[in-house]
């Protein structure tokens, strides 16, 4: 399999099986190894490439035209701006065009350089996607040299040294270095982001690689949000006297992060406080409850994944980004499967019987993606409201304008 070639090629993508793709380089100069996955979202490339959950991965976009609306400062999802860019590279079909959008502040190529993200264009992304679907997500190395001269020995050494994502705790690389408070609310047309002024509830969010829009969704629900590092202990969390606890998304192998996170979560479960997890937070909660996680064949990455809420019977289109999953066959007694993927029937949610604890595998905050699942933040905060004796909100109320 070959990419669109020019003489000389200024970018390479080499897979562990020897597949070699040549194309045109964009973004940062250099080379980086990672796990190669594909994402089926048609919009939101900036949010995807700043999602900390993609740490250690090279993202192939199946949509051919990426970069055509430029980049701006509002669509960044990384909270910890001091951390290195989590994503290792980006693979595209078409060349980047000049931006055509009123919100664009800079060209996509310049934005990639600032974020230290290496890119390649001119690749047959349909063929690459088909290869990943058939053979699973391979390790690979992406390289960009403006003069077309590559240090192939160094490139191949980096690929050989990359261990893959199994066994890697990447949460420590993307988490916040210190505790902070969050009060930014959701984006509104022609207004931008707001600031929360009425915050009657206190939520402590454990940051395993949190996205900004998750924190905004909590603030929209009237939550004063305190964000703590991934390595925070149960005592650290409870010292803030929270009304509820949130476990964020994040990258890497949940079993590796779970070595220090699971004991903390188990102690937090014992408090009886409402607890909500997303993505890696869902997997870590599953481990804390006694279930097991496993590596997926091709993972779920995109903004068009159908999920069924087994508690209501409704189907929602969701945003997903994960390469590990909770093994539903290992869910212990007292833990109920609440959501399933309609693509492959894999577990997409769980709850603890008789306790205000639940989690989902996907991203209800979207960004990018549909807003079908925003109700889950209301569901979580209603558990908090119930414990505080406050009137609950309808789960599927119309979102704010």
Largest Cα span, the chain: 69
Q: How far is CA 197 from the centre of its chain?
A: 28
Q: What stretch of H or E contains 45?
A: helix 45-49
Confirm if 58 and 91 have CB atoms less than 8 A apart. yes
Q: Which of 35, 77, 173, 365 is catalytic?
A: 365
Q: Which residues contact 318 (CB under 8 A, 6 or more apart)?
A: 303, 305, 306, 307, 348, 362, 363, 364, 366, 369, 370, 372, 373
Assess whether 365 carries a catalytic annotation: yes
- Nearest residue to 187 via CA among 213, 225, 224: 213
Assess whether 363 carries a catalytic annotation: yes
Q: Which residues contact 106 (CB under 8 A, 6 or more apart)?
A: 70, 71, 72, 99
- Nearest residue to 363 via CA among 394, 393, 318, 398: 318
Q: Can you give the length of the chain in residues?
A: 401
Distance between CA atoms of 144 and 15, rounded to whole angstroms?
Answer: 15
- CB atoms closer than 10 angstroms to residue 183: 15
Q: Which of 77, 279, 300, 374 is catalytic?
A: 279
Distance between CA atoms of 55 and 85, rounded to whole angstroms?
Answer: 7
Q: What stretch of H or E contains 114?
A: helix 108-115
Distance between CA atoms of 218 and 163, rounded to whole angstroms?
Answer: 36
Distance between CA atoms of 381 and 203, rounded to whole angstroms?
Answer: 9
The SS3 call for residue 372 is coil
Distances (CA, A) of 67 to 39, 45, 64, 105, 144: 15, 7, 10, 12, 18
Assess whether 217 carries a catalytic annotation: no
Distance between CA atoms of 329 and 341, rounded to whole angstroms?
Answer: 15
DSSP state of 329: G
Crossing angle of helices 375-388 and 212-220, in 10° steps, is 50
* Residues labelled as active-site residues: 279, 363, 365
């Amino acid at each position: 399999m070959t990419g669109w070639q020019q003489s000389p090629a200024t970018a390479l993508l080499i897979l562990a099986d020897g597949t070699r793709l040549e194309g045109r380089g964009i973004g940062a100069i250099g080379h980086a190894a990672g796990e190669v996955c594909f994402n089926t979202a048609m919009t939101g490339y900036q949010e995807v490439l700043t999602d900390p959950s993609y740490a250690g991965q090279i993202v192939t976009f199946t949509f051919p035209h990426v970069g055509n609306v430029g980049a701006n400062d509002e669509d960044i999802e990384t909270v910890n701006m001091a951390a290195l860019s989590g994503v290792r590279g980006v693979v595209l079909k078409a060349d980047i065009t000049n931006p055509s959008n009123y919100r664009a502040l800079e060209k996509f190529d310049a934005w990639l350089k600032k974020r230290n993200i290496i890119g390649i264009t001119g690749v047959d992304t349909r063929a690459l996607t088909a290869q990943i679907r058939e053979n699973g997500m391979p390790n690979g190395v992406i390289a960009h040299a403006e003069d077309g001269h590559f240090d192939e020995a160094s490139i191949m050494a980096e690929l050989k040294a990359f261990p893959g994502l199994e066994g890697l705790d990447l949460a420590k690389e993307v988490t916040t270095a210190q505790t902070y408070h969050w009060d930014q609310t959701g984006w509104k047309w022609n207004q931008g982001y707001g600031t929360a002024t009425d915050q009657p509830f206190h939520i402590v969010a454990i940051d395993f690689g949190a996205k900004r829009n998750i924190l905004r969704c909590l603030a929209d629900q009237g939550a004063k949000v305190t964000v703590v590092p991934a390595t925070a202990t149960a005592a650290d969390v409870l010292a803030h006297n929270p009304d509820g606890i949130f476990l964020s998304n994040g990258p890497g192998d949940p079993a590796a992060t779970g070595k220090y996170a699971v004991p903390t979560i188990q102690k937090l479960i014992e408090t009886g406080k409402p607890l909500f997890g997303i993505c890696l937070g869902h997997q870590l909660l599953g481990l804390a409850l006694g279930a097991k996680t496993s590596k997926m064949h091709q993972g779920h990455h995109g903004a068009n994944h159908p999920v069924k809420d087994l508690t209501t019977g409704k189907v929602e289109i969701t945003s997903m980004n994960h390469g590990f999953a909770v093994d539903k066959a290992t869910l212990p007694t007292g833990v109920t499967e609440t959501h399933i993927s309609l693509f492959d029937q894999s577990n997409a949610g769980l709850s603890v019987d008789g306790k205000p604890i639940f989690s989902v595998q996907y991203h209800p905050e979207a960004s990018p993606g549909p807003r079908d699942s925003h109700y889950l933040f209301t569901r979580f905060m209603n558990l908090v409201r119930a414990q505080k004796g406050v009137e609950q909100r309808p789960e599927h109320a119309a979102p704010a304008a």
